[in-house]
Amino acid sequence: MIELKNISHFYVEGEQVLHNISLNISAGEFLFLSGESGSGKSTLLSILSTLLKPSKGELLIDKVNVKEIKNIDNFRQENVGFVFQFHFLINYLNVYENIALAAKEKHKKDINELLEKLGILDLAKRYPNEISGGQRQRVALARSLINKPKIIFADEPTGSLDSKNSTLVYELLKTASDAGTTVVVASHDLAIKNYATRTIKMIDGKL
């Protein structure tokens, strides 16, 4: 599904963040990238999700080298969902509109059903500043799921949530994984181990 070959990455200043990483991630796997701040896990996640080009090495998704993909934005919309620590919802759009903005036309009919599954259908007409942090993160999760992506990447998705809402997000990601979606989460929260099918710890840019 996802294959990293000898990935290294350097910042502009010359500091090496990732050191010759090779990794295979299977379809439907729930992979937990653990590590302290500065370990390189967020940089690795950015490369895996095609948001960042590595300084060296190759990334293949479904045996296709990402360098050969001509329209990376279309590729992301078709295949990838993103969940971040901060929801990045648009404040002047309501919950439904935030998800509809990300949805492909053929999936817009599924928005209410997805909101109902996530327990937030009653919030469809509310705005981000009218709902709680946990509810906003569920909206962000709905936005990441609406196009039925093959892969979901999550970077510290529960960093701003309490334990109850964190557990809910983990369970929703686990449900997506059980349904065949590949899930990759980067976090320092070890509670994710209870949901992941594999845990990889990063230290100083190495696995």
Neighbours of 129 (CB within 10 A): 9
Lowest mean pLDDT among 29-33, 116-120, 147-151, 160-164: 160-164
Q: What confidence tens digit (pLDDT) does each residue in 75-129 have?
A: 888 899 888 776 789 999 999 999 999 998 999 999 999 999 888 999 999 999 9
pLDDT of residue 11: 85
**Quick check: 160 pLDDT over 80?**
no
pLDDT level of residue 43 (50, 70, 90 thresholds): very high
Please, what are the domains in the chain? 27-51+70-201 (3.40.50.300)
Pairing state between β 182-187 and 151-155: parallel
**Quick check: 188 pLDDT over 90?**
no
**Quick check: 157 pLDDT over 90?**
no
**Quick check: 14 pLDDT over 80?**
no
Let me know: does 19 contact 39? Beta carbons within 8 Å.
no
pLDDT of residue 125: 97
pLDDT of residue 137: 83
pTM: 0.89
pLDDT of residue 44: 94
Average pLDDT over residues 172-201: 93
pLDDT of residue 166: 84
Q: What confidence tens digit (pLDDT) does each residue in 170-186 have?
A: 888 998 999 999 999 99
pLDDT of residue 27: 93
pLDDT of residue 161: 78
**Quick check: 5 pLDDT over 80?**
yes
Average pLDDT over residues 165-171: 85
Average pLDDT over residues 153-166: 83
